[in-house]
């Protein structure tokens, strides 16, 4: 049976960032680190099904992990892109308000400033008409720190850099069960490349759960082992696993001419804990709209073409000359949202030492701004490990 020092479950952008971060830490130079990814390649779920936006940190509740790690991660990510020549562009974003919504925009600016985003600028209607003549809005909040990134190139770079330091990437590998041992964990896994299905087992001293959509299921495997080993039910209740919801977001590509030079966002959709159907531009200059937000109980990446009518109606509020016939189904993504009492979902990153598992680190609810925050999240995981090893 193979022995590893660190197993990272999940080869999305966060798992890859954690592997990169740990592989460059002198404390782990001679450690055996492996990433287990159940898909055929890295980043095939949430990490490759988003807007590829580098967020500034405007929206998130002050004192939240999202606010803290987005601001830290933004600068770390821009520095990484420059250092490793990752395609990106700091093109800026306009959060637009329609007549009567100005006070909401002002409240958003206040929240951003409380979060430490101090370079925003309020744009009036006259200036908006000069810089984005196709845009219909009474005013806007301009964020110069917002950008776009080639997320695939970024993830490939993280993996390549980690592998150069000895990290192993095991694709098509799913975890079937977790057993607790005196010095860590025993994992039963299946390696299935579509031709051969091979059972396998390994031991690890440290387990880092970056499994994204499957993170709660993975954590439940370890917690069920605690119950079998006489785990105190009172501690379990105080440290229970969070409840998770799936939020599906669809995107439509626009085959017409792109009239915008900035990202265009409506005011946030607080009812669905989402940012609203916005206009994003990729590095080739192509325009797309999305995502919307629907609560789902399962994973479904199909895009309903009939939604084009709803998208057109929403987008035409700020882009009135949009041609609905040029909206074509693009792709969809699934985001994890943790159930909270009246508050937006936040990141949960914790060492499970309170329940007697100091070498298990769980990451839950890593949705937007997970891409932007990825290197800061990796730093948080690294700090948690340092506290217990």
pLDDT at 228 over 70: no
- Bridge-partner residues for 189, per DSSP? 175, 200
What is the token pair recorded at 261?
Answer: 């030079």
- pLDDT over threshold 60, residue 231: no
Angle, CA of 370, 372 and 376, to the nearest 5°: 80
Q: Encode pLDDT of 321-340 as tens digits.
A: 999 999 999 999 999 999 87
Task: List the 53-54 sheet strands across, edge first.
Answer: 53-54, 147-149, 88-89
Q: What is the mean pLDDT of the segment spanning 248-269?
A: 95
Q: For the chain, what is the radius of gyration of the CA atoms?
A: 22
State mean pLDDT over 266-273: 77
Q: What is the mean pLDDT of residues 185-214?
A: 94
pLDDT higher than 50, residue 234: no
Dig out the tokens for 197 from the structure: 């299905």
Element (H, E) at 152: helix 151-164
Compare 200 and 224 and report the one with higher pLDDT: 200
**pLDDT surpasses 90 at 274:** no
Distance CA 381, CA 236 (A): 22
Residue 358 has what pLDDT?
83
Whole-number pLDDT of residue 291: 95
* pLDDT tens track for 47-83: 999 999 999 999 999 999 999 999 999 999 999 999 9
In the predicted model, what is the mean pLDDT of residues 297-304? 94
Domains detected in the chain: 2-48+153-243+344-388 (3.50.50.60), 93-144+245-338 (3.30.9.10)
Which has the minimum average pLDDT: 32-41, 231-240, 336-345? Answer: 231-240
Say if residue 1's pLDDT is above 80.
no
Residue 387: which pLDDT band, with cuts at 50, 70 and 90? confident
**What is the overall mean pLDDT for the chain?**
93
Measured distance CA(306)–CA(116) in Å, rounded: 41
């Amino acid at each position: 049976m193979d022995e590893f020092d660190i197993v990272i479950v999940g080869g999305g952008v966060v798992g890859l960032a954690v592997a990169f971060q740990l592989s460059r830490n002198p404390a782990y130079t001679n450690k055996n680190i492996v990433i287990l990814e159940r898909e055929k390649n890295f980043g095939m779920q949430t990490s490759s099904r988003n807007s590829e936006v580098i967020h500034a940190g405007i929206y998130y509740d002050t004192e939240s992990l999202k606010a803290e790690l987005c601001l830290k991660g933004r600068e770390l990510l821009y520095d990484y892109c420059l250092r490793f020549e990752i395609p990106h562009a700091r093109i800026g974003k306009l959060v637009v308000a329609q007549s009567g919504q100005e006070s909401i925009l002002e409240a958003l600016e206040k929240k951003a400033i409380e979060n430490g985003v101090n370079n925003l600028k309020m744009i009036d209607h006259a200036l908006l008409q000069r810089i984005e003549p196709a845009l219909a809005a009474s005013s806007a909040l301009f964020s110069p720190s917002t950008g776009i990134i080639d997320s695939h190139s970024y993830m490939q770079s993280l993996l390549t850099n980690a592998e150069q330091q000895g990290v192993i990437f095991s694709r098509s590998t799913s975890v079937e069960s977790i057993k607790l041992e005196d010095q860590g964990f025993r994992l039963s896994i299946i390696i299935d490349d579509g031709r051969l299905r091979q059972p396998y087992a390994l031991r690890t001293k440290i387990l880092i759960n970056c499994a994204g959509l499957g993170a709660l299921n993975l954590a439940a495997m370890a917690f069920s082992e605690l119950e079998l080993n006489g785990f105190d039910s009172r501690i379990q209740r105080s440290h229970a696993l969070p409840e998770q919801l799936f939020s599906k977001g669809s995107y439509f590509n626009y085959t017409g001419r792109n009239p915008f030079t900035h990202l265009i966002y409506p005011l946030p959709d607080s009812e669905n804990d989402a940012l609203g159907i916005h206009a994003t531009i990729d590095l080739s200059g192509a325009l797309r709209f999305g995502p919307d937000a629907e609560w789902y109980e399962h994973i479904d990446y199909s895009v309903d073409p009939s939604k084009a009518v709803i998208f057109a109606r929403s987008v035409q509020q700020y882009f009135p000359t949009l041609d609905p016939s040029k909206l074509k189904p693009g792709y969809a993504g699934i985001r994890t949202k943790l159930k909270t009492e009246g508050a937006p979902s936040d990141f949960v990153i914790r060492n499970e030492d309170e329940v007697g598992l100091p070498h298990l680190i769980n990451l839950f609810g890593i949705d937007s701004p997970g891409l932007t925050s990825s290197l800061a999240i990796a730093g948080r995981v690294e700090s948690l490990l340092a506290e217990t090893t």
